[in-house]
Structures are given as C-alpha cells and as structure tokens.
Amino acid sequence: MNASGICEPVAAPAVRLRAARLADRLERHAAALADFARSLGEDAWRLPAPGDGRTVGVIVHHVATVYPLEVQLAELMAAGTPIVDVTWAAVRDMNAAHAVDHADATREQTLSLLAANSAAAAAAIRAFSDADLDRAVPVSLYGGAELTCQFMLEDHAVRHSIHHLARLQAAVAAARA
C-alpha cells in the first residue's frame, strides 16, 4: 500500500538463474550420493577406497561435512576477499583428521548430515547474484591464481558429491567382482 492508501504490486525478487542452476546441480549430485549410500550393505559402507584408505562411509561423511566450508570460501570470494593460507596440504591434513575423528560415523548420521548440509549449501548458493559469481580473487589453493566465485563453487561444493560418487561406485563394483 502506498502513501495514498492504494495497493500496489510488490516487485518479485529477481530470479538468479545461474545461481539456481548451480544449486540444482549440487542437490542432484548430493541426492545421487545419498541414494548410493542407502543402497550399500554394511561391508560396502566399511570398504576402504583404493588409493585413498578412507572407507566409503567416511568419504560420504566427508562430503557432507565440508559443504559449509566450501560455501564459506565462495562467500568470501563473492565479497572480494582473497583466499589465503588454504593449501592442498592443509586439505589433506583436514581430510586425514576427519577420517580419524569420524571413522565410526553411522550411515543414518551421515545421511542426515548430507541432507542438512547439502540443503543449506544449495540455499546459500541460490543467494549469489551474477556479480557475486563473476567476482574473481586470488586463491591460495590454486597458487594465487585469480578465480571466480562460480569456479570455486563448481570445482568444490557443486562437484564434490559426484566426484566422490564415481570413485566410490568403482571401488564397490571392484570389490564385488
């Protein structure tokens, strides 16, 4: 209602198509990982992944756990903040500590965490504007290269589930052969 008491239509929020597409992909990939995890027997859940050492269950838990961190890095980038002191060595150390700390994570706990954190990540991604997605800052994880927020989202949060899913499916298939 305006000052004259006349009702006026409220402008709809702008559709953020690029961000929505990224979020939709993240949700599809997380759902595929969850479906795979639900299909596993206990032996497959505890199977060590070749070349990794972590169990299938720990890797699924890892994906669920890091969504908030991956989105936080993208949010910093969208705000124009360079990413410093994030290295592949630090990522390896974080993953190794996670594997020890969550070696006994149950499927139920893991699937719950995956659902909650992937939904929160998708919601956060939908809030990014095109300008946010286009903002580029130096990223220490890539040797200080200037990268866009969208690249960071695609290479990490959006791709993470499907990246690990392909490897986990191969490991389980090989174990069954």
* Ordered domains of the chain (ranges, CATH): 17-176 (1.20.120.450)
Residue 4 has what pLDDT?
62
Per-residue pLDDT averaged across 153-158, rounded?
A: 97
Q: Sign of the CA dihedral 25, 121, 86, 151?
A: positive
- Return the minimum-mean-pLDDT range out of 8-12, 87-91, 132-136: 8-12
Characterize 82-118 residue by residue with b for buried, 16 or more Cβ atoms within 10 angstroms of its Cβ, and e for exposed: ebeeeeeeeeeeebeebbeebeebebeebbebbeebb
Single-letter residue type at 166: A
| pLDDT above 60 for 71 | yes
The model carries a pTM of 0.88
Give the confidence band of 6 by pLDDT, cuts at 50, 70, 90: low
SS3 of 101-162: the string is HCCCCCHHHHHHHHHHHHHHHHHHHHCCCHHHHHCEEEEHHHCCEEEEHHHHHHHHHHHHHH
Neighbours of 78 (CB within 10 A): 22
Whether 3 has a pLDDT exceeding 90, the answer reads: no
Closest CA to 161 of 99, 114, 127: 114
| 131 burial type by CB count under 10 A (0-12 exposed, 13-18 middle, 19+ buried) | exposed
pLDDT > 70? residue 15: no
Which residues make Cβ contacts (< 8 Å) with residue 112, sequence separation at least 6? none
- The proportion of the chain whose per-residue pLDDT surpasses 70, expressed as a percent, equals 92
